[in-house]
């Protein structure tokens, strides 16, 4: 097969591992910077050009689209979809998961456990907003934040009001979430492929920090998850429509709670923590499903 990887940097660990895994299984691989692509949008033969050449003949596309380029990256991915190329994750699913508010509303509709969350544009009563999520301490998050940036733990009402007012003054969109104290600054990253959790790791925040992101200095270790945690992670990925997802769970007194569903989960932390060849599992999933799509397309013809 000819597989394209939408990535801005082929030396990144995740991109590099996917290239290695695909080549080891005999596939041709091309790394494509979505921002360098330009498109011919027409009803007969949609095209994508890259560095002066038309991109054609691809069987599958693996989107590794950074949060900052979601809009254009998904537009390029959509164009590949229009050309009949199999996407590992569809553009609509990526867009859905990147919108933090929309993703939580979808999880809520599907009955997936999550922290109580408040959202407001200009709350007339910050006190009521805080009470709505169970009072302080609370976690205040920028909707556009990634990798733990724009996430603040406010331990008192006074601190929460100050942070909310500061963010509002910057015209930032924020969410206010209950603080799950019993999680102890740790979360579980479940790596979902298809309808299975194929690996899981526990991420523990460093001393004095509540954000467990590896980018914030957190540590990762292998963890055994419960059947309920497994079901929750799979349900969360399905709610977004993602074939491959990193689902972040908190262990709470009322069961697993989904914090976030990541459409481009990194491979480095989880491969090193679990010792699993996740890149090869992703390529294997593509082989099965891209082939099935081709067969279905031929059947329609």
- What CA–CA distance (Å, rounded) separates 262 from 255? 20
Which amino acids are annotated as binding site, given as ranges? Answer: 141, 178-179, 187, 211-213, 248, 260, 262
Which token pair is 105? 């509303």
Which amino acids are annotated as binding site for Mg(2+), given as ranges? Answer: 248, 260, 262
Residue 123 has pLDDT above 70, yes or no: no
Q: What was the pLDDT predicted at 178?
A: 92
Element of type H or E holding 114: none
Same fold, 96-108+182-287 and 117-179: no
Residue 209 has pLDDT above 80, yes or no: no
Q: What was the pLDDT predicted at 106?
A: 96
Report how far apart the first and last C-alpha atoms of the chain are (Å, whole number). 21
Task: Give me the helices (H) in the chain, please.
Answer: 13-24, 70-82, 91-98, 100-109, 126-132, 157-169, 227-240, 268-274, 278-300
Which token pair is 229? 């945690």
Backbone angles phi, psi at 128, to 5 degrees: -70, -40
pLDDT digits (tens, 9 = 90+) for 20-68: 999 999 999 999 999 999 999 988 899 999 999 999 999 999 999 988 8
Cis peptide bond prior to 298, omega within 30° of 0: no
Which amino acids are annotated as binding site for ATP, given as ranges? Answer: 141, 178-179, 187, 211-213
Reply yes or no on domain 2-93 having CATH 3.40.50.20.
Answer: yes
Identify the three-state secondary structure at position 217.
coil
- CATH architecture for residues 96-108+182-287: 2-Layer Sandwich (3.30)
Which token pair is 16? 């590099």
What residues does each domain of the chain span? 2-93, 96-108+182-287, 117-179
Q: Which CATH code for domain 117-179?
A: 3.30.1490.20
Q: What was the pLDDT predicted at 301?
A: 40
Which token pair is 134? 């169970």
Which amino acids are annotated as binding site for Mn(2+), given as ranges? Answer: 248, 260, 262
Q: Kindly indicate the confidence band of residue 258, based on its pLDDT and cuts at 50, 70 and 90.
A: very high
- What CA–CA distance (Å, rounded) separates 213 from 203? 7
Residue 298 has pLDDT above 50, yes or no: no
- What CA–CA distance (Å, rounded) separates 290 from 207? 45
**DSSP-assigned letter for residue 206:** P
């Amino acid at each position: 097969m000819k597989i394209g990887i939408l990535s801005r940097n082929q030396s990144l660990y995740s991109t590099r591992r996917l290239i290695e895994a695909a080549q080891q299984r005999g596939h041709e691989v091309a790394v494509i910077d979505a921002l360098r692509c330009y498109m011919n949008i027409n009803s007969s033969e949609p095209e994508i050009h890259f560095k002066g050449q038309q991109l054609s003949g691809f069987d599958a596309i693996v989107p590794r689209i950074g949060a900052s380029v979601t809009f254009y990256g998904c537009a390029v991915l959509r164009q590949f979809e229009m050309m009949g190329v199999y996407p590992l994750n569809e553009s609509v699913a990526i867009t859905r998961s990147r919108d933090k508010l929309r993703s939580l509303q979808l999880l809520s509709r599907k009955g997936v456990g999550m922290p109580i969350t408040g959202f407001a544009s200009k709350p007339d009563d910050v006190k009521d907003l805080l009470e709505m999520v169970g009072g302080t301490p609370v976690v205040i998050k920028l909707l556009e934040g990634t990798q733990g940036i724009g996430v603040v733990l406010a331990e008192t009402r006074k601190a929460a009001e100050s942070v909310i007012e500061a963010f509002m003054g910057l015209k930032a969109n924020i969410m206010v979430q209950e603080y799950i104290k019993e999680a102890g600054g740790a979360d579980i990253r479940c790596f979902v492929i298809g309808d299975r959790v194929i690996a899981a790791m526990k991420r523990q925040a460093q001393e004095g920090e509540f954000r467990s992101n590896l980018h914030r200095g957190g540590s990762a270790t292998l963890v055994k998850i419960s059947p309920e945690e497994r079901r929750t992670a799979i349900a969360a990925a399905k709610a977004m429509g993602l074939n491959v997802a990193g689902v972040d769970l908190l262990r709470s007194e009322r069961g697993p709670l989904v914090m976030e569903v990541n459409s481009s989960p990194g491979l480095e932390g989880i491969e090193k923590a679990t010792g699993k060849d996740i890149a090869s599992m992703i390529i294997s999933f593509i082989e099965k499903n891209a082939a099935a799509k081709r067969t279905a397309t031929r059947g329609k013809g």
